[in-house]
Amino acid sequence: MTSTQPSIHESSAMTTKLTGGQMVVDILIREGVEKVFAIPGHGNTALLDAFVDRADEIELVPAMHEQGAAHMADGYYRASGKIAAVCTSIGPGATNTLTGLATAFADSQPLLLLTGAVHTYMENRGVLQEIDRPHGNNFPRMAEPVVKRWWQPNRVESIPTALAQAFNTMYEGRRGPVLVDIPQDLQAEYGEYAPQTGARRAATRSTGDPVAIAEAARLLASATRPVILAGGGVIAADAAPELLALAEYLGAPVTHSFQGKGAFPADHDLYAWPCGDMGSISGNEVTRTADVILAIGCRFSDRVTSSYRPGVTFNIPDTKLIQIDIDGFEIGRNYPVEVGIVGDAKTSLQALTSALAGERPALDYRAGAYFAELQDLKSQWEEHLRPMRTTDYLPMTNSRAMVEIRKALPREGILVTDSSNPANQAFNEFPIYGPKTNIVAGGFSGIGFGLPAAIGAQVARPDTPVLAMVGDGSFLQTGTELAAVAMLGLPLVVVVLNNGGWEAIKDLQINLFGAARKATTNWTTPDGKPYFADIAGFARSLGCAAERVEDPEKLADAVERAFATRAPVVLEVMSAHELPWTEMHPTGWWDITVPAYHGDTRDDYVSKRGF
């Protein structure tokens, strides 16, 4: 199986003199990079100037904040599978990217961060914006925990080697972001440059060990209640077709993690909805009662496992676990495995399906009792959701809003969320039908990701409908990126569910400690009145069309009109802000700690912990 990675263009080995900045631009173009999300500063001025003469080959895309630029590059890759770069200045321009880097790192998403650095001849003098303690020019060590690797060239001629290694690092194995921190003098000075020629990275995928593949096939062939758990590794490997083929061969229900949503179509009759603390009735029941689980590219985080509490989502090791992952560190990390397979999801699933065919024929799974049980569980889940999905209560429930949005979002459209109520409820009740059409900050789960990531997704796929669905808390963190949307004229639709506060955390406080113990989650003015930001007015001030929607019956039409404009539109949707109307439908358990002074509540919490 050949790789989809872009190849380095063939070129003459003849050297020429280029500045460090010109080298960077030439290498990006040769690597197939088309977009660079950039914010200018004195620390990257020389580098940005090198893009001017090649503007017809590579585009600088504006952002309003460096965190937003990093999220844009992240969303760009998640929507397209193409790497983008981020270019920022020194000091705060660099440090502002850290949340974006951490988000990409947690979810194994590659991006290339190019930052300006102190001139080599002034390093460790404490110049403007230098991080000079305990070491000079020290930003890379701040970024080190959230990049796969970093480089800080000390001569112009070392820039090509650093960038070649950076691209190899992003593409190899478990993907992720990298940093190249380029001193300002190296950006501007000439050096000898010879474009690299020939292949510089593997063109094949790593496939699991044949012995382990055969052992997994035998175990699956003997299973009576097999379940497949799809993680983000399925989407990263473009393995959705192989997942579908294996699921249908086995007749196995398919559930998923946050990052795995979209790997399997929600309208397939083997789709079981998600598992975990915010999982579904059907997803948690099939994983809890499975005799064999095949997990592919899944970390088994606390959100998917109900914080490892036995018998809620999983019963491993009573349930036998087969785990496939590109990163051997994840095999057996959180649960013991019966079979561990280190390899690419796509080729490993191909090999496993072939091996399974040698063990037993495909079954008519629709005729069996297991399939009938799955359909009954899914009906129970739909019935559980129905009251909040169909109610005319005002302000409207998020569940009802999502029903109306799904009506208007085309099947191939992209939904972007980030965290809190919108992301959690989209996870367990918003149908998604294909890979790369659900973008969420799953692992780091930071609010503020949604809008800039949606910008990146829309830049990557300009002809595909993209909708960001975020809360007012998220929007108020990165909503200034609407200015970039307006400048670019993107046809992006942004739905802001405005409930006037940190609703998800407020509900946690009430459910855990009681209604009298809310803290900083209700937004109020000095006289105690509820505070609601004027989202629509703010959006208009930045050059976007906007309207406020209060009637759920009008929301689908509003979304359809927004898409039809082919211009940026913000829909401020007034949403419920009191229990039970803000309920997120949890069916698992999440370990949110209870202080020791809460007596019986604390005792009940401790009795349920998985540790």
Whether 186 has a pLDDT exceeding 70, the answer reads yes
What's the whole-number average pLDDT of the chain? 95
Q: Is residue 456 part of a domain?
A: yes
Tell me: do 500 and 526 sit in the same domain. yes
Q: Give the pLDDT score at 136.
A: 84
Q: Which CATH number goes with the domain that contains 189?
A: 3.40.50.970
Q: Give the pLDDT score at 363.
A: 85
In the chain, the amino acid numbered 341 is I
Report the percentage of the chain scoring pLDDT > 90. Answer: 92
Tell me: do 398 and 365 sit in the same domain. no
Q: Residue 495's beta-bridge partner residues?
A: 469, 571
Tell me: do 172 and 234 sit in the same domain. no
Q: Is residue 591 part of a domain?
A: no
pLDDT band at residue 7, thresholds of 50, 70 and 90?
A: very low
Whether 498 has a pLDDT exceeding 80, the answer reads yes
* The dihedral sign for the CA sequence 34, 40, 43, 48: positive
Angle between helices 20-30 and 159-171 (to 10 degrees): 30
Tell me: do 316 and 418 sit in the same domain. no
Q: Give the pLDDT score at 12.
A: 45
Tell me: do 275 and 321 sit in the same domain. yes
Yes or no: say if 425 and 435 are a contact pair by the CB < 8 Å rule: no
Q: Give the pLDDT score at 13.
A: 54
Q: Give the pLDDT score at 226.
A: 98
Please tell me the distance from the alpha carbon of residue 344 to that of residue 331, in angstroms, as a whole number: 13
Mean pLDDT of 86-90: 97
Closest CA to 562 of 553, 552, 572: 572
Tokens of 170: 């992003």
CA dihedral 387, 388, 393, 398 (to 10 degrees): -170
Q: Give the pLDDT score at 200.
A: 79
The whole domain housing 120 covers 16-193
535: left (phi over 0), alpha (psi -120 to 50) or beta: alpha
Tell me: do 367 and 400 sit in the same domain. no
Tokens of 442: 């799953």
Mean pLDDT of 539-543: 98
> C-alpha distances in angstroms, 558 versus 27, 491, 564?
44, 14, 10
Tell me: do 171 and 280 sit in the same domain. no
Domain count, the chain: 3
Please tell me the distance from the alpha carbon of residue 542 to that of residue 199, in angstroms, as a whole number: 46
Q: Which CATH number goes with the domain that contains 321?
A: 3.40.50.1220
Tell me: do 292 and 226 sit in the same domain. yes
Q: Give the pLDDT score at 130.
A: 85
Q: Is residue 589 part of a domain?
A: no
Q: Give the pLDDT score at 15.
A: 85
In the chain, the amino acid numbered 293 is I
Q: Give the pLDDT score at 509.
A: 93
Q: Is residue 588 part of a domain?
A: no
Mean pLDDT of 372-391: 98
Q: Among 136-150, 187-201, 353-367, 458-472, which stretch is predicted with the lowest mean pLDDT?
A: 187-201
Provide the 3-class DSSP secondary structure of residue 555: helix
Tell me: do 320 and 452 sit in the same domain. no
- Domain limit, last residue, from 325, 345, 376: 376
* The dihedral sign for the CA sequence 603, 604, 607, 609: negative
Q: Is residue 94 part of a domain?
A: yes
**Helix, strand, coil share of the chain (percent; to 5):** 45, 15, 40
Please tell me the distance from the alpha carbon of residue 155 to that of residue 465, in angstroms, as a whole number: 45
CA dihedral 140, 144, 148, 154 (to 10 degrees): 30
Q: What is the pTM of this model?
A: 0.95
Q: Give the pLDDT score at 1.
A: 35
Q: Is residue 590 part of a domain?
A: no
- Phi, psi torsion values for 23, nearest 5 degrees: -60, -45
Tell me: do 283 and 354 sit in the same domain. yes
- Domain limit, last residue, from 321, 351, 376: 376
The model's pLDDT over 227-253, given as tens digits with 9 standing for 90+, comes to 999 999 999 999 999 999 999 999 999
- Domain limit, last residue, from 193, 228, 261: 193
Mean pLDDT of 75-94: 97
Q: Is residue 490 part of a domain?
A: yes
543: left (phi over 0), alpha (psi -120 to 50) or beta: left
The model's pLDDT over 190-224, given as tens digits with 9 standing for 90+, comes to 999 999 888 878 878 899 999 999 999 999 999 99
> What's the gap between Cα 429 and its chain centre?
18
Tell me: do 356 and 441 sit in the same domain. no
The model's pLDDT over 360-369, given as tens digits with 9 standing for 90+, comes to 999 899 999 9
Q: Give the pLDDT score at 202.
A: 83
Tell me: do 320 and 428 sit in the same domain. no
Whether 463 has a pLDDT exceeding 60, the answer reads yes
The model's pLDDT over 573-601, given as tens digits with 9 standing for 90+, comes to 999 999 999 999 999 999 999 999 999 99
Mean pLDDT of 330-343: 98
Residue 266: Cβ-neighbour burial (10 angstroms; 0-12, 13-18, 19+): middle
Q: Is residue 602 part of a domain?
A: no
Whether 167 has a pLDDT exceeding 70, the answer reads yes
Q: Can you spell out the DSSP letters for 276-296?
A: STT--HHHHHHHHH-SEEEEE
- The residue with greater pLDDT, 327 or 4, is 327
